[in-house]
């Protein structure tokens, strides 16, 4: 049963998952923040169907990213030596990423209609920290409710679904097969996200060489780059 739940002899370590997740996000945001505005502006009238298909494919590929990042949050939580520092780092980069996110998403410096996904990951981490930290069910419940309320009010990417998935993956962390099945089921409305849990199932538990800081900086930097590209294309 242990071998079934936690495969050991695979090449998929945390670095592999991070690279797949970042590549998926890069392709997804290329479609959402560059290609879509370009098409909507009418610049893709020649071969519109072809470019629209490229856009659709990019968004499908991009569905892999978020489930993988949820899994990495849970793994990071289990291996960090300082959860408060982990929370602080996520929170800081959520704030740093907000202007790049708004620029890429709506071409304005401040758009309060929706916030970036780092806030969702931060809230999910806070929820599982409360579950781990407090023995009394009421405190655990309050922590989870606060996390869900936070992302709902801010209208973050993936919102309450994202926090719920992180909690599910954490609760089932010792049962890899069930973790993968229930994780995939949570995304049943987004079919292209479900294969992410094939990848996580074969995670070998090893860290790899890529620093977690690479993702933190990758997120706002690539959003700024796409915002600039979109501006140049549409100007």
What is the DSSP secondary-structure string of 161-197?
HHHHHHHHHHHTTT-HHHHHHHHHHHTTT-GGGTTHH
Reported confidence tier of residue 209, pLDDT bands at 50, 70, 90: confident
Give me the number of domains the chain comprises.
1
User: pLDDT tens digits for 165-199?
Assistant: 999 999 999 999 999 999 999 999 889 999 999 99
Long-range contacts of 50-57 (CB under 8 A, 24+ apart): 55/31, 56/31, 57/31
Specify if 9 maps to a domain. no
User: pLDDT tens digits for 67-100?
Assistant: 999 999 999 999 998 999 999 999 999 999 999 9
pLDDT at 41 > cutoff 90:
no
Specify if 61 maps to a domain. yes
Specify if 8 maps to a domain. no
Specify if 3 maps to a domain. no
pLDDT of amino acid 2: 46
Q: Which domain holds residue 109?
A: 14-234
pLDDT at 1 > cutoff 50:
no
Reported confidence tier of residue 217, pLDDT bands at 50, 70, 90: very high
Average pLDDT, the chain: 92
Specify if 25 maps to a domain. yes
Q: How far apart are CA 76 and CA 56, in angstroms?
A: 32
Specify if 1 maps to a domain. no
Specify if 36 maps to a domain. yes
Helix, strand, or coil (residue 112): coil
Specify if 4 maps to a domain. no
């Amino acid at each position: 049963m242990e071998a079934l739940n936690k495969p050991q002899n695979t090449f998929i370590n945390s670095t592999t998952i991070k690279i797949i997740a970042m590549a998926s996000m890069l392709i997804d945001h290329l479609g959402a923040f560059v290609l879509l505005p370009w098409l909507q502006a009418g610049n893709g009238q020649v071969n519109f169907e072809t470019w629209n298909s490229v856009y659709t494919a990019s968004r499908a590929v991009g569905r892999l990213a978020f489930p993988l990042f949820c899994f990495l949050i849970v793994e990071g939580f289990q291996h960090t030596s300082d959860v408060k520092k982990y929370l602080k780092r996520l929170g800081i980069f959520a704030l740093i990423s907000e202007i790049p996110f708004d620029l890429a998403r709506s071409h304005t410096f401040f758009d309060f209609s929706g916030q970036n996904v780092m806030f969702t990951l931060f809230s999910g981490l806070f929820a599982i920290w409360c579950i781990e930290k407090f023995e009394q069910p009421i405190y655990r419940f309050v922590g989870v409710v606060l996390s869900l309320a936070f992302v709902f009010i801010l209208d973050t990417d993936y919102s309450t679904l994202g926090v719920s998935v992180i909690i599910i993956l954490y609760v089932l962390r010792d049962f890899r097969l069930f973790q993968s099945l229930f994780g995939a089921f949570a995304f049943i409305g987004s079919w292209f996200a479900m294969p992410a849990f094939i990848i996580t199932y074969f995670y070998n538990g090893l860290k790899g060489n890529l620093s977690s800081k690479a993702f933190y900086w990758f997120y706002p930097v690539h959003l700024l780059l796409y915002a600039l590209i979109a501006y140049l294309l549409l100007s």
